Amino acid sequence: MHKITTAKLKEMKKNKQKITLLSAYDYLTARLAESAGIEGILVGDSLGMVVLGYENTLPVTMEEMLHHTKAVSRGAKLPLIIADMPFLSYQADLKDALYNAGKLIKEGGAQAVKLEGGREIQETITKMVSSGMPVMGHLGLTPQSIHQLGGYKIQGKNQKEAQKIIDEAKILEESGIFSLILECVPRELAKTIAESLSIPVIGIGAGEFCDGQIQVFHDLVGLCGEFTPKHAKRYLNLSSEIKNALIKYKEEVAQGTFPQKENSF
């Protein structure tokens, strides 16, 4: 198996091969993703909500992203590793944006970064790409703008909103992104965009016509309690399996049936 590159993902789109990406945040999950043949791991800023217990993704810091990007890149060598740029690490200042993206690649071991937004980050993307840093775009539901969007809602439902996303997808492609994430948009809109761009369009809640899919690891394996977002599929119910194991462990310690001789030295 060879290292997955941005060029490989583009080739997969050309050959009509679907791409599978996963949001993951640690060494062990990265190893599992690699062993399952997943093409790319996004160290998403969903880290904030899934692992760090924040209410949304806004509080996530560069230090936290760097810490988890390092862990993922230690765990997986073959998948393309993409690090999310956290809120305010790229919006306020071009120089800071370049420095922070560089840090995630140079120190974190990522091979690409992801930024949320459209025409307002065009210059930033162009500069990153011309400095040799592959950039993934993210349109539709962009969680870092949650307060402006007024909640986690489907985007691009009316003609005006849909056209804006189509136009911004084109702008991002022209700015040099190697791939685009479309989050929570109607499937027909995602189809139009995937067909009109030459780069891979990866969907989450964007339907089956995308060139690939991305999901959050914890949603797929049922590690987020009872709630599963509509766009995800729960392949396992790990929360309850783990809880049952921990209850059993506690019972056995309390009853003195663990450890046994074979667990001792």
Q: Check residue 223 for interaction with ligand KIV (CB under 6 A).
A: no
Cβ pair 82, 42 in contact under 8 A: yes
Q: For 226, which DSSP code?
A: T
Binding residue for ligand KIV, selected from 181, 199, 210, 224, defined by CB under 6 A: 181
Q: Check residue 216 for interaction with ligand KIV (CB under 6 A).
A: yes
Least Å distance between CB 51 and ligand KIV?
11
Binding residue for ligand KIV, selected from 6, 12, 23, 117, defined by CB under 6 A: 23
Residue from 183, 208, 226, 241 carrying the catalytic annotation: 183
Q: Is 231 helix (H, G, I), strand (E, B) or coil?
A: coil
Q: Check residue 205 for interaction with ligand KIV (CB under 6 A).
A: no
Q: Check residue 84 for interaction with ligand KIV (CB under 6 A).
A: yes
Rounded CA-CA distance 216/195 in Å is: 25
Q: Check residue 192 for interaction with ligand KIV (CB under 6 A).
A: no
**Is 183 known to be catalytic?**
yes
> Based on CB atoms, which residue is closest to ligand KIV, 15 or 41?
41
The two three-digit tokens of residue 70, written as one number: 């390092």
The two three-digit tokens of residue 21, written as one number: 């990406």
Cβ pair 78, 177 in contact under 8 A: no
From the number of C-beta atoms within 10 Å of its C-beta (0-12, 13-18, 19+), residue 73 rates as: buried
Q: Check residue 105 for interaction with ligand KIV (CB under 6 A).
A: no
Cβ pair 206, 180 in contact under 8 A: no
Residues interacting with ligand KIV, by CB under 6 A?
23, 42, 44-46, 84, 181, 183, 204, 214, 216
Residues belonging to the active site: 183
